[in-house]
Amino acid sequence: MSDDRKDLSPAAQRALAEAEERRRKAETEAKALPKELGGRDGPDPARYGDWEKKGIAIDF
C-alpha cells in the first residue's frame, strides 16, 4: 500500500480497493468481447446521446 493511502480511513481504503477490482473486471470483460468488424475508430460516437460523423453532431 502506498504512503498516501495509509492516511485514509479503513472505509476509504476498502472503497479504493473495490474500485480497483471493478476496473480490473471491466478490462477483463472488454478484452473478452469479439472485435467489431467495420466499426468506427475511437470512442463510441453515441456516448453522449448524439451521433457525430465528420464533425456534424446529430441528436437522437
Nearest to 53 by CA among 36, 40, 34, 37: 40
Residue ranges in the chain assigned as alpha helix (H): 3-6, 10-32
pLDDT reported for residue 59: 63
User: How many Cβ atoms are within 10 Å of 16's Cβ, its own excluded?
Assistant: 13
Average pLDDT (39-53) is 67
* Percentage of the chain lying above the pLDDT 90 cut: 28
pLDDT at residue 52 tops 90: no
The whole-model pTM stands at 0.46
18/33: higher pLDDT: 18
**pLDDT(9) > 80:** yes
The amino acid at residue 8 is L
